[in-house]
Chain A
Amino acid sequence: MADLSDPIDRLEAALRAVNEIEANNIIDDAMGQMTPLECAERLITPVLRRLGTGWVDGDVSLSQVYMGGRICEKALERLLPEAKQTYRVRPKVAIAILEDYHNLGARLLLSVLRASGIDPIYYDHQTVTSLISKAKADGIEVLLVSTLMYRSALKVRDLRKEMVKMSISPVLMVGGAPFLFDEELWRVVGADEMGKDTSAAVKAVNRMSEVKV
C-alpha cells in the first residue's frame, strides 16, 4: 500500500479513481508552498508519468490516463491566471494527428503537456504537406505526431523526407498503437524518438528546454 501522506501518492490515487474534487484539493494544498509551474513540474508531472508508465505496463487504463490528464489540465488552467503566470513558451511544441482521424492519443498528449506547464500548438488532423507547412511557419522545435492506424504510421517516412526537402529539423517524436506493437517501427520510418506514453513527450520537451532556453 502506498504511503498516502506523500502528495504525489495521494494525487495518483485520486486520479486513478478519477476523483476531481480530491485531486483539486491536493493540488490546491501544494499551491500553498509553490508556484503553479513548480506544482506542475514537481507534483503533477511525476504523477502523470506514473500513470503513463502504468498504462504501458497494463496496470492503468487509458481512460484513467485521459481523465487524469484532463483534471490536471483544468487545475492548471485555473491556477496560472490566479498567480499571474503563463505556460512555458520554449521550446515551441506542436501536436499533430497524421493522416488519421483518431484523436484520443493527441488529446491525451495535449492535456498532459498542458498539465505539465507546456502549451503546445494543437494542429489536429493533418496531411504530410499541410503539417510541414504549418511546422515551418510556426518555427516548431518539437513535433509530436500521433497515429492509430498502421498506414498513418508509415506516412511518417514521407514526413521525414519532406522535412529534409524543406530544410526544417524539429525533433520528430512519434507515438500511438503501431509504434507500441512494433517497437522498431519508429526507426524504420525515420523518427527521432518514440514515446511509449505521454511522459516521454514531456521529457523530450524538458530536455530541449534545457538546451535551448
Chain B
Amino acid sequence: MIDEMDPMDRTMAALSHKEPDRVPVFMLLTMHGAKLLDMPLIKYLNSSEHMVKAQLKMRDMFGHDCLYALSYAAAEVKAFGGEVMFFEDGPPNAGRPIIQVPEDIEGLEPPDIESSVRLQETLKTIRGLKEGSNGKVPVIGVVMSPFSLPVMQMGFPAYLDLLYHDPEHFRQLMDINQRFCVEWANCQFEAGATAVAYFDPVSSTTMITREMYLDTGLPIAKGTISKLKGPTATHFASGRCLNILDDVMGTGTAAVGVSSLEDLSLLKSKSAGKVSLIGNLNGIEMARWDHQRAEMKVREAISKAAKGGGFVLSDNHGEIPYQVYWDVIRWTMDAARKHGKYPLNTTDR
C-alpha cells in the first residue's frame, strides 16, 4: 500500500512512468464552472476571478488531480483581432475568419500579449489557481499549436487549400503562429502553469496523412516545443494518433492526449516508458452515462493503460461537454478511486 499522495506528486510520479498511490485523474472541466456559479457562460469564461473560484471549488467537490486554466480556444483568435461567438450551452466559436484571402497573411502580426485583455485574464487565472492550491495541484495551461490555429484564423476548407496549394503563405503563417505560440506558452509557465497542453488536432491522422504530418505538423511541433520553458502534453482533441505516436514522441512532449476511437492497449504498448497517455473517456457518450457505465468505462481504461504508471485518466477531447451531469463526474471519480489504486487489482484486467 502506498501512502496517499497530493495531486502534484501523484501526477509527477505517473508522468515519470512510476506507479503513484492511484491513477491521477484530469477532469478537464471548463464550462461547468458557470453552472456551479449559476451564471451565463459569456460572463464566466471572461472572468479570471470566477474561473479561479469555480476551478478550486470543483476540485474540492470531486478530488481530481488538476486545475484547468482553459477558458476557450477561440481566445487566441480574439487576441489576433478576431470575433468570438458565445452560446448558452457550449464552447464559444471563432467568428468571421481574420484571414479572408491568403494575401491577408502578409500583413498579419503576432498579438501583443501584454495588451490583450483576454490573454491577460488567462494569466490571472493561472496565477490565482497556483496561489489557491499552494502548488500542490498541477495547473494546466493551454495553447493551440501553430499548425492547428489556422482552422480558427481562416476556416478549415481554406486552410486545407493553403496547405496543399500555397506553401509560401503557409510558411509565413506558421512563422507568425509559432512566434506567438512560444511567447504565449512561456507567459503561462511564468504565471505558474505546471504544464501546457499543446492542442494540435490538425496533426492527427484523422485530419492529415502521416506523410503530410512529417512534412508539416511534426517539424513545427519540434521547433515550438523545444523553445518552451516547461513540459507539454500534446493533445489531438479526440483525433487519432496511433500511427504517428513514435513521431510525436520525438517532439519532446511529456504526454499525449489519445482518442476513444483507438485501442488504448495498443497505444500503451507503443508508449510504455517513453511518453505518458492522457485519456481516453468518450466525452460525448459521458452525457448519457449511468453509474454502471461510468464505472465500466473507467475500469476498462485503467486496465488497459495504467500498469507501470505513465497514464492519466481523462476525457478524450480535452474538454468535458457542458451537458455532462455532475453525477457522471462524481461516478467517474469514484470509479477511478476504486479501480485505480496501485498496485492495480489484476482481476480488473
Binding site for B on A (CB under 8 A): 18, 55, 58, 61-64, 66-67, 99-104, 107, 149-152, 154, 177-178, 181-182, 184-185, 188
Cβ–Cβ < 8 Å partners of B285 in chain A? 181-182
User: Can you list, as one digit per residue, whether each of B94-111 has a CB less than 8 Å from chain A (1) or not (0)?
Assistant: 110000000000000000
Q: Which residues of B contact A154 (CB under 8 A)?
A: 323
Interface string of B138-173 (1 = CB under 8 A from A): 000000000000000001110010011000000000
Asked whether A63 lies within 8 Å of B160 as measured between CB atoms, the reply is: yes
How close is B285's CB to chain A, nearest CB, in angstroms?
A: 5
Cβ-based interface call for B91 (8 A): yes
Contact B209 A101 (CB under 8 A): no
Chain A residues with CB under 8 Å of B94's CB are 101
Establish whether residues A62 and B95, one from each chain, have CB atoms under 8 Å apart when the complex forms: no
A103 touches B156 (CB 8 A): yes
Q: Which of A104, A150, A181 contacts B323 (CB 8 A)?
A: A150
Complex contact B157–A150 (CB within 8 A): no
Q: Is the CB of B91 within 8 A of A149?
A: yes
| Beta-carbon contact of B89 and A64 below 8 Å | no
Q: Is there an interface contact between B288 and A62, defined as CB atoms closer than 8 Å?
A: no
Specify the main secondary structure of chain A where it touches its partner.
helix
- Shortest distance from the beta carbon of B95 to any chain A beta carbon, whole Å: 7
List the A side residues contacting B323 at CB < 8 Å.
150-151, 154
Counting CB contacts under 8 A, is B205 at the interface? yes
Most chain B CB within a 10 A radius of its CB, from A18, A62, A177, A188: A62
Give the chain A neighbours of B322 by CB distance below 8 A: 151
B90 touches A62 (CB 8 A): no
Contacts of A104 in B (CB 8 A): 155-157, 160
In the complex, which residues of chain A have a beta carbon less than 8 angstroms from the beta carbon of B265?
none
- Tally B residues with Cβ within 8 Å of A: 34
Residue of B nearest to A185 (CB): B284
Per DSSP, chain B at the interface is: loop
Q: Is the CB of B90 within 8 A of A151?
A: yes
Question: How far is A161 from B247 in the complex, measured between Cα atoms in Å?
Answer: 48
Residue in chain B with minimal CB distance to A153: B284
Q: Is the CB of A58 within 8 A of B90?
A: no
- Report 30 cross-chain contacts, Cβ distance below 8 Å, ordered by A residue: A58-B205, A58-B206, A58-B262, A61-B206, A61-B207, A61-B212, A62-B208, A63-B160, A63-B208, A63-B209, A63-B212, A101-B94, A102-B156, A103-B156, A104-B155, A104-B156, A149-B90, A149-B91, A149-B93, A150-B321, A150-B323, A151-B87, A151-B321, A151-B322, A177-B284, A181-B283, A182-B284, A182-B288, A184-B288, A185-B284
What 8 A-B pairs come out closest when comparing CB atoms? A151-B90, A181-B284, A104-B156, A101-B93, A182-B284, A150-B321, A63-B208, A107-B157
Q: Which residues of A contact B260 (CB under 8 A)?
A: 181
Given A62-B206, A101-B94, A150-B323: 20 more A-B contacts, CB < 8 Å: A18-B164, A55-B206, A58-B205, A58-B206, A64-B209, A66-B160, A99-B87, A101-B85, A103-B155, A103-B156, A103-B157, A104-B157, A151-B89, A151-B90, A151-B321, A177-B238, A181-B260, A181-B261, A182-B284, A182-B287
A185 to B286, CA, bound (A): 12
CA distance A62 to B204 in the complex (A): 10
Knowing A61-B206, A66-B160, the reply to whether A102 touches B284 (Cβ < 8 A) is no
| Residues of chain A contacted by B321 (CB below 8 angstroms) | 150-151
* Cβ of B282 under 8 Å from chain A: yes
Residue ranges of B at the interface with A (Cβ–Cβ < 8 Å)? 85, 87, 89-91, 93-95, 155-157, 160, 163-164, 205-209, 212, 238, 240, 260-262, 282-285, 287-288, 321-323
Residues of B within 8 A of A55 (CB): 206
A residues in contact with B95, CB < 8 Å: 101
Closest to B157 in A: A107
Instruction: Collect the chain B residues with CB atoms within 8 Å of residue A58's CB.
Output: 205-206, 240, 261-262
Cβ distance B317 to chain A, nearest Cβ, rounded Å: 8
Q: From A151, which residue of chain B is reached at the shortest CB distance?
A: B90
A66 to B161, CA, bound (A): 10
A60 nearest CB neighbor, chain B only: B209
Is B287 touching A150 in the complex (CB atoms < 8 A)?
Answer: yes
Which residues does chain B contribute within 8 Å of A178, judged by CB atoms?
284
Q: Does A188 lie within 8 Å of B156, measured CB to CB? A: no
- Is A62 within 8 A of B207, CB to CB? yes
Chain A residues near B85 (CB-CB < 8 A): 101
A55–B206 Cα gap in the complex (Å)? 7
Residue of A nearest to B213 (CB): A61
A154 to B322, CA, bound (A): 12
Q: Which residues on B sit within 8 Å (CB–CB) of A18?
A: 164
Q: Considering residues A61, A99, A182, A184, which has the most beta carbons from chain B within 10 angstroms of its beta carbon?
A: A61
Complexed CA–CA distance, A102 and B91 (Å): 13
Q: A101-B93, A150-B90 are in contact. Are A63 and B284 (CB under 8 A)?
A: no
Report the Cα distance A173→B317, complex, angstroms. 25
**Which residues of the partner chain A approach B160 to less than 8 Å between Cβ atoms?**
63, 66-67, 104
| Chain A neighbourhood of B238, CB < 8 A | 177, 181
A16 closest partner in B (C-beta) = B209
- On chain B, the residues within 8 Å of A181 by CB distance are 238, 260-261, 282-285
Min distance, Cβ B320 to any Cβ of chain A, angstroms: 10
Closest chain B residue, CB of each to CB of A154: B323
